[in-house]
Each structure stands twice: as structure tokens, then as C-alpha cells.
Structure 1
Amino acid sequence: MPHAAEFPVRSRRQFLEAGAAIGLGASLLSHASWAADSSPVKGGTLVANVLPEPAGLVAGINISQPAVVISASIFDGLVRYDKDFKPQPQLAESWSESKDGKTITFKLRRGVKWHDGHPFTSADVQYSLLEVVKKVHPRGSSTFGRVTAVETPDEHTVVLRLDGPSVVLWSALFGTETQIVPKHLYAGTNVMANPWNTKPVGTGAFVFKEWVRGSHVVLERNPNYWDSGKPLLDRVVFKFIPDAGARAAALESGELHYAVTNPVPESDVERLRRNPALVVDTKGWEAPAPMFFIDFNMQRPQFQDVRIRRAFAHALDRKALADNIWYGLAKPAEGPVPSYQKQFFKPGLPQYAFDPAQAEKLFDEAGLKRGADGVRLRINHMVSPYGPVYQRAAEYTRQALGKVGVELTLVNFDLPTWIRKMYTDYDFDTAQGWYSAYPDPQIGVERRYWSQNIRKGSVSSNAARYSSTEMDRIIQGIHDEADVNKRRELIGQMQQLAQVDVPSINLLELNFYAIYSKRLQGLREGPLRFYSTLADAWLAPPAA
């Protein structure tokens, strides 16, 4: 079968280097079984948790972590990735690439149907890539930037035409990143406002059943799934449990089987790690590579002066954030690319050490003097709605900046409102957030710095509205450069300029964790463990 093993040497080497950059290895991904001699059990209901409640359930359109977790079991991608981040067949059975890297041909799986019974064809892929991924997805215009045409010679063949070889594309073909949606339900509509975004129709192992707002989403077994014998579970119920204590209690009682993305406070992790019925899993986040940062609204007059932005950076103690707010489940970031991505991380970048006196000096030099009341600036600060740790981080930020004369008003919203305020209205002064850097900076990192990603309504894009001719030149070079070493140099230049210009303060590399019952088996191994389908998952009988 002509898939990963038959890539041209150039593309395969570059792709495997990208996998190595995120530190993958089988030794990091092993997990103790609940019962090593147990055989998979069919049937049953998996009770899961995501937080916060998403704005939509189609992750390729309503980009957010909870949407990704749910969407992964509703939609399949062209490929999935194994534990070494090598592509494996999913909706595409095989693929090949021309020697010059300008043509990629996918042979699609036959007999696949959308959940409403319509056949899945190459027209769905063509529409999704050109009208959804490239136009709507905040990373799509970059990831698929070299794709000039998508051809459909027959219902089961898709041909991508590129203006040059693309290294990054091979890292972004999984189902929640490059999501394939049904053309017959989306063509001719406003993709962002399409009602099927909240009642999705996919090709995956589970079918959407209901969404009770404020309570839960139910997915049921797809009886016509192309992968015979799967899924094993009858249904998955994703509950929205806003109270952290209630989530912890539900995990300990066994009422909740599966909770991803830091479901309990960091202070509770060690206690739950000692619970013999639970797994606290910090692996499986290597590909998402979560990073915590603070954005400036670069359209606000007070943030036009780089000295002010650098002063903010000097006022914040990243180590205190990592040790005290995140209880050691984070480390100070040195730039926008996580340090464990050795292939791309650039050491020796400009740093802004915790130095309140230097912050005061920079504020004064920029003409931002303290008033009679000791305040030099009053602004608002949007708090990330992803859990209590972000509220604590915001409180720390308010206190730290208060000591250097900046009065911060914290603003809290639910996720849909936060998304609108950040990415449609741009109605904030400063805002905290986390994003997925992903295994190649062209997928996850550059969106924060590329002016072409200032796209109103596009979630997780350039909310700061940072625009730099020099940065745009560097990023375009990253897109165009096929030579691995020259491209790596440009990625280093991007990191350097990001740290010099400081449109965002890169604060922490986050160590995410999931907590689940040891009864839960069959989670897919690999760097996208918790962004993968639950098609293989099953529940072992309770221990006697």
C-alpha cells in the first residue's frame, strides 16, 4: 500500500524529522493496563467531560479544544497518525507524491457514508480543502498555502496541485486539523453560521445524537462505520461539569470515566495520581504542544511603543507562574516554540527577566508616568475561560502589574462570548490565552504573528493584530523554502523577531494532563492521544 513507506526520500526525511522534533518515542507512551489479560468488551456508555462547553462541534470551523475532543469521534480525516507521528490510512486508503513535490494523489476509501446516508466522495474533500480549510480555518491558509488546485478525476481520487513542495502539509492531515465536512450540507452557505456546526454530520465512528445546552452532548455508535467491528462502545456522553470539585468527585466515584485537558485543579493532581482506580496521563500532548501567553491589542495607542510591551514582560515572574500557579506542571517559555521541539526551537533568544525596577524604568522612558494615585495605566484583561488555573494566573498578573503602576480590570466570559470578543470584535486591551504550537511552527505558531491571519471571526488567529513587513517576509520564506536547513533558519528568525517585538508575552510551556478510569482501555497511542477518535475505546468490567 503506497502510503508513508513510499514517500519520496526528501519528503519522508523531512516529515520524520518533524516527528522527532516533538520528542516522540514508544517509551514515553506506554501505559499500564487495567487488566492485561482482558479482551475488548463491546457495548456500554463512556461518560466523559470537556470544559468549557464549546461554541460548536465542528472543530475545523469552531476552533476550540473541547470542540476538538468531541469532534474527533464524529469526523475522520484523510489520515491518522501513529505513535511515531507517521501517517496511517483513514479516509484515504493510500497516497503518493510526485518527485518534485508538486502533486499529491490520495486514493479514497470506497463505501464510506456520511451519517445521513449520503456517500462520501472526492467532491467532499475538494470542497472542504478549498472552501473551509483554506478560507475559514485559522491555520489553513498557511498549511495549505502552496496548494493551488484540488482536482477530482473520479469519486475516489483527489489530486492536490502545489506550486512547490510543502513540508508542513504532511503534519496537518489529521481529522480535527484538516476536517472534511459534507459538501451537500455546506456548499452555498455561510460556513461559519451553518446550523450543521451544532448538529454535525460526519463519517466517523460515532453519530451525533443530541446537545443539551449547559448539560451534555451525546454521541451514539455508528452502525455503518467503515472500520468493521468498531466502535466498541454504544455511546459516549460528554458532560459539562463547571465545578472543579464536582469533576474530581465524579472521577473518584467512577461516575466519570474520562476527563481531558486538566480537569481538576493542579493542586489535586498528586492526590488523584495515588488513586489506584485512576490514571493521570501527561503523555499524548506532544503534538498539540500547549503554550500560555498574553496578547496585547496592538491597535490600542498605549501598546504602540515596544518599551511598554517589554515593561509588561519584565513585570511578570514566569517561574512563579510555573511553580506556584501551575504547581510545577509548566515551565517558563523562552519563546513561541516549545523548547522540547529540538528541531525548531532557537536557543539564546532575547529574554525579559523578572525585573520590576526595569519595568518601571521602561514605562517612565515611554512617557507613561505614575499619576498622583500611583497609577500610570488603567486597562482591561480578558481571562481565558478554560478553568480555575487561568483565573489564578489572571489574579497574579493583576497583582504583579499593580506593583508597577498598571491597574488591571479582569474580564470573564463564557467561551462563545470570549471567542467573539477576541476574534470578531477585538474588544480587549490585553488577554491571556493558550494555544497549540503543534509539531511544525507553520501550523501552530506563525498564526499569532502573520498579518494575513488578521481575519475577523477566525478563531485562534492573530488576535493581537500584529503586522510587521519583516515578520511577513520571514513567514512567507518559511512557506516557500523547501531546503530543510534554510527553512529552519527562517523559523529561528521568526522566533527572534517575535521576542524582540513582543506583540505577545510568551510565558509558559504547559504540561497538560488527562485523568481517566483504569477501566478505560483502547485509547489511541501517540502524540495526539486525546485529540483522537474513541473508535477503539472500551470499558473493562469493574474490578471484583
Structure 2
Amino acid sequence: MKRRTFLSLGSAAVAGSAFGARTVFAQTKPAKVLRFVPLADLASIDPIVSTAVATRNHAYLIYEGLYGLDANLAPQPQMAEGHLVDDDGKRLTFKLRSGLVFHNGEPVRAADVVASLKRWMKRVPHGITLADRTESLEAPDDRTVVLRLKQPFPAALWLIAKATPSTMPEYLANTDPSQSIKEAIGSGAFRFAPGEYIPGGRAVYERNDRYQPRQEPASYTAGGRQALVDRIEWRSIPDVSTATSALITGEVDWIDQVLPDVLPLLKTSADVSVDRLDQYGLIGELIFNHLQGPTANPAIRRAILAAVDQTSVMRLTMGDDNLWKAPIGCFTPGTPSANDAAMDVLGTPPKSKAEIQAMLKEAGYNNERLVGLHASDHPFYGPMMQVVAARLTEVGFNVDDVTMDLNTVYQRRLSKEPLDKGGWSMFITAGNGFLDFSDPASPNILRGIGEKGFYGWPTNAKLESLRNRWLASGDLAEQKQIAADMQREALTTGHWAPLGQYFQYSAWRNELKGMNKSPVPLFWGVSKG
């Protein structure tokens, strides 16, 4: 990030060029460059500090973890050769596979892995869960990691495998987890090119020639990660028509998430493939500030849940009924944790204005201002907030719908100040249907750990107790009941408001082969030409 380069993005229609300037690379043979259009630009390079989708996708490109998940969602070794369990299940010993090298040329040591895990365990909910059950985490030699638990905890390996990878050199991993790292150095199949990073414009990744992939076939985040292109360029193109034009004319190769309006056009192109790579979809979330303003009152939050009709939000945002599902509860439809508990408190089917105003009167609402952080540049969060704000205004809330770009939302949501000092009441985001909402342990927003938790900072001891019971249980029927109990507690207290499940299509040039079906865009195994 010491050197900045400028990328000119045009706004041409289909017949024109999407880019005003091209980068020319001096080399003996043409590099295989994959040009990717993410839904949002890369604002943070730190997967521990930021929960942004772009940061998570960036992490999968350059970092690895001890274990990954295969297509059956079972933990499989990645950086590790394997592990041993002894001391009645209280000690896990991992042996690193040979040949692991960081992008700066230094060998990966167990001390680097331990420091990276400890940073994860201080900030990320899954990591905090494991930290609470950990006696010690040590590196007795350069290839051995020893995790000692306070008591047997069968979910430990699953938590490590499901985590967004973040193994980095020890000196970077020692960065305070509340502060962003200054360098992005991992050991994965691709390396980050900091000199070509333009926040809001471009991020570049180059093939890591030192990388030695595992021999097993790739399977979701497990197995061999074969880098089959020389360079990956993330190009931020906020204008939908410009991005669509660039794909059709071959100026970009892959659009991560295609907006519903342009699906028909892309499907008519003989040079483009369109498919749903992520079968789990995304879960829309309306997040409340539990510390400040009217939304600190659970009765007000319950009234908001009752007012918001998920069907209206989804239909006006996504259009085609095949692209969304509503109403939903706290967990992804079709997963073992999905249930119908307390769904009657939601605003689907729509409740009358009189019903909502009666709830507001009982809650003691006196026209206090609600500040909504409205990401107007986001193709899904923006329309969702527009629908939510209009509906809340209609039924009697005093809504200050403050428009800004998504990166400003990311900054504003950090504030715990009162509303008149830059604080907020609500914002909209989305979580991955598999990574974030397939089980009670994963959703950041279902934690009840107050200011140590996700934005909004809810405190709920009952939710925490239920989550711990779910993690300790090995019985599927019991886990399903616990999930229902958690949903009932979350919805009846207005912990957050689910807005529906929506599905994204990806589109890519036909010369790309080996596209991965997964909840996140994975670039290994993808070839061009």
C-alpha cells in the first residue's frame, strides 16, 4: 500500500469500453489474468478486524488455516498433516505439513500459527468460544501446535475448520485485534500485491510460486488448492450496466453477484455462463443498536419486527419470486437448525398500522428519532433499507434515513455514542446462509455478550447459555430443540430482525473452467483459456 496506481473506470454502455486505461505487463509470454468484479470493494485487508464479505473473500485467497471443511462440511487437514487427540479428549496435537512458506519467503512456524489463533480467539465469536474452553495453546517446536482444553470439547476442530483463515507471521499476528494489520502476508496459493491496491478501485493477487498444494482433490475449503492463473484482478465497477457490458465484451471474466435486472440480458449472451454457485444464499439482517436511543428498548425492537414485512422487502429488492424466500426465522431454510418458533411475532403476513401503533403506545414511544444507516451504493442493502424506512415511517416511527456509501456505514456502525453525537439505531447487512446462519454457533448477531460482541452489542445471558448447550450436545434432536429455543428468545426480545433469504447468480466468461460451487467465491482450480 506504499505505492498507489490509478485505474480509470469508464461508464460506457454495452458498445463501449468499461476501462479508460489498461495495464501492460512486460513478460515473455502473456500472463493468464482473471478479472473479477466483486459485489463490494476491499476496504479492509484484515479478516479479524472486519466482518465485510470482501475481506472474507480476500482472506480465502491469501491465507490458510490448520483445517478446512470439505463438501460434506466435515473438517479436513489443510496446513496440518493431521492431529492426535489424547488426555481423554482434552489435548489436541497438530503437526504442520512440510513446505509451508509465507509470501515474504519465511517458513511457516508453529509459533506463527499459535499467534494467529490467539488473535482470532480474542475477537471472532468462534474463536472466543474456543478461548473460553482453552487451558493453553503452545508451540513446543516449529512444526507442532498443542491445544489443551479445560474439558473435552468435540466442537473444537469444527470451530477451527469453519473459521475464515488468517494464519500470518507472528509479528503481524501480535497486532492488537482491535487494530488492523498493516500488511497482508499469508501462505496461500495467491499472494496480495500491496503496491497495486487501490481502495475503492482495485485489488490484485498473484500466483504464489512457492506454494505446495495438498495432493487430495479440492473440496470446498479442503484439499489441493491449485493456482491455475497467474494473476487475479478485483475491479470495482459500481455501475451495473458498465459491469454487465464489460463481461459481455470480454473486458472482465467473472461477476461475483449479478443483479436480478440484468440476468435476462446475460443469459442471452453465447459467451457467458450464468449459474447459482452458492446454494445457501444470503440472509438479510436488520441490526439494532441495543445501547443507545429507542432501539435500546426491547418493546420498540419488537414493534419494528412486527412492522417489517419480509415478503415486501424481498420482492421489492429482488423481484423474481425464484430469487428469494420469506418469511424466515434465525436460521437458513433447509438446514437442521431451521424452525418455526415465534414466527408469529414477525410482520409477515403484514400487521395493521393500528396494531403497530398500539405496540408503540405500550412501549412508551414518544416520536423519538431512529437513525438508519442507509448504504445507498449497495445494490441489496440500499433497497432493503429504503423499504424498511418507508414502512416504519408509515406506521408511526420517526425515521432519519441517512444515506451514505457502504464503507461509511462500516465506519459509522463502530460508534457507541448517543444519536445526537453520531450514533445510530439500525443498519442492514447480510450473512452467508452456510457460513453464518446454518447453526446456532455461527451467527455473530445471535451472541449475547454485550460490548465484546457484534455491532449493536446485545446482552442476553439466556442466548449464551443455549448456545453453549448446543455446542456441548452431540444429539441432533436435542440440537434442533435448542435451535428452536434460541430463535424464540431472539425474536421475542427483538434481538435482530431477519429480512429474508435471497439468492445470487454469478456470471462468467465461458473460457473460465473449474468454477467452484461454494458459499464463497473460491479461485483455486479455476483456469482461463
Q: Is the shorter-chain TM-score for this pair beyond 0.5, marking a shared fold?
A: yes
Contact 1:464-1:504 at 8 Å conserved across structures:
no
Letter in 2 for 1:267: D
- Matched with 2:76 is 88
Work out whether residues 376 and 405 of structure 2, in 8 Å CA contact, stay in contact via their aligned partners in 1. Answer: yes
The answer for the alignment partner of 1:109 in structure 2 is: 97
Most deviating of 158-167 and 330-339: 158-167
CA 1:238–1:174: 2 relative to 1, 3 Å: farther
User: Aligned AA for 1:316?
Assistant: V
Letter of the aligned partner of 2:71 in structure 1?
Answer: K
**Deviation, structure 1 residue 364:** 2.6
Name the residue aligned to 1:422.
413
Q: How far apart are the structure 1 equivalents of 2:414 and 2:295?
A: 18
Shift of 1:123: 0.8
Residue in structure 1 matched with residue 524 of structure 2 by the alignment: 535
Correspondence for 2:291: 299
1:348 deviation in Å? 3.7
CA–CA distance in structure 1, aligned partners of residues 470 and 44 of structure 2: 32
Does 1:47 find its partner at 2:35?
yes
Q: CA deviation at 1:470?
A: 2.4
SS at structure 2 position matched to 1:276: coil
SS at structure 2 position matched to 1:126: helix
Task: Provide the C-alpha distance between the structure 2 equivalents of 1:221 and 1:183, rounded to a whole number of angstroms.
Answer: 23
Match in the other structure for 1:10: none
SS in 1 for 2:333: coil
Q: Is the 8 A contact 2:116 2:173 kept in 1?
A: no
Change (3 A) 1:61 1:399: closer
Change in 2 beyond 3 A, CA 1:415/1:129: same
1:190 corresponds, among 176, 187, 194, to: 176
Which AA in structure 1 matches 2:446? Y
Matching residue of 2:208: 222
CA contact (8 A) 1:68 1:176 kept: no
- Is it true that 1:433 corresponds to 2:429 in the alignment? yes
Partner of residue 59, structure 1: 47
Deviations 1:107-145 (A, max 9, x none): 211121111111101111111111x11112244212554
Per the TM alignment, residue 355 of structure 1 is displaced from its structure 2 partner at its CA by: 0.7
1:88, 1:471 → 2: CA distance?
30
Residue 388 of structure 1 aligns to a residue whose secondary structure is: coil
Identity of paired residues, percent? 22
Contact in 2 for aligned 1:148/1:162 (Cα 8 Å): yes
Counterpart residue number, 1:140: 127
| CA contact 2:293–2:370 (8 Å) conserved in 1 | no
Any residues of structure 2 matched to 1:194-273 within 5 Å, and which? 194-196=180-182, 199-209=183-193, 210-227=196-213, 230-260=226-256, 262=257, 264-273=258-267
Distance 1:495 1:42, change over 3 A: farther
Quick check: 1:410 aligned with 2:409? no
Deviations 1:417-456 (A, max 9, x none): 32232134462112222123526534422x323332522x
Distance 1:517 1:82, change over 3 A: farther
Partner residue in 2 for 1:400: 391
Deviation by residue 1:181-206 (Cα, 9 ceiling, x = unmatched):
2103333x43443543xx41110111
| Partner residue in 2 for 1:11 | none
Counterparts of 2:107 and 2:254, CA distance in 1: 32
Structural mapping, 1:64-79, within 5 Å:
64-79=52-67
Distance 1:308 1:213, change over 3 A: closer
Which amino acid in structure 2 is aligned with residue 253 of structure 1? T
Letter of the 1:109 partner, please give it. Answer: R
Q: Measure the CA separation in 2 of the matches of 1:242 and 1:122.
A: 41
Distance (whole Å) between structure 2 residues aligned to residue 308 and residue 190 of structure 1: 36
Structure 1 contact 186–194 (Cα < 8 Å) conserved? no
Q: Is 298-307 or 206-215 further displaced after alignment?
A: 298-307
Other structure's SS at 1:362 match: helix
How far residue 56 of structure 1 moved from its aligned partner, in angstroms, is 1.5
Change (3 A) 1:308 1:58: closer
Deviation of 1:100 (Å): 4.1
Question: Unaligned regions of 5+ residues in structure 2, if any?
Answer: 1-28, 215-224, 418-422
User: Any idea what SS the aligned residue of 2:404 has?
Assistant: coil
**Structure 1 residue ranges without an equivalent (≥5):** 1-40, 370-375, 456-460
Match of 1:452 among 449, 452, 460: 449
Offset, 1:42: 10
2:315 counterpart of 1:317: no
Counterpart secondary structure, 2:116: helix
What is the CA distance between 1:388 and its match in structure 2? 2.1
Deviation, 1:385, is 6.4
Deviates more, 1:90-99 or 1:49-58: 90-99
Equivalent residue number for residue 166 of structure 1: 153
Residue 372 (structure 1) aligns with? none
Normalised TM-score (structure 2): 0.82
Provide the residue aligned with 1:465 in structure 2. Answer: 457
The residue number in structure 2 matching 1:180 is 167
**Residues 59, 164 of structure 2: 8 Å contact kept:** no
Q: How many residues align?
A: 476
Partner of 2:498: 506
Report the CA distance shift for 1:235/1:407 in structure 2 as closer, same or farther (over 3 A). Answer: same
Contact conserved, 1:449 with 1:498, CA < 8 A, in 2? yes
Residue in 2 aligned with 1:282?
276
| Residue 358 (str. 1) matches residue 370 (str. 2) | no
* 2:337 counterpart (338, 344, 349): 344
Alignment check: 8 A CA contact 2:43 2:200 kept = no
**C-alpha distance in structure 1 between counterparts of 2:481 and 2:131, whole Å:** 21
The answer to whether the Cα contact below 8 Å between 1:464 and 1:503 also exists between their aligned partners in 2 is no
* Whole-Å separation in 2 of the counterparts to 1:75 and 1:153: 23
Deviation at 1:298, TM superposition (A): 1.9
Q: CA deviation at 1:360?
A: 1.9
Query: Which sits farther off after the overlay, 241-250 or 83-92?
Result: 83-92
Query: 1:164 and 1:326, CA in 2 relative to 1: closer, same or farther beyond 3 A?
Result: farther
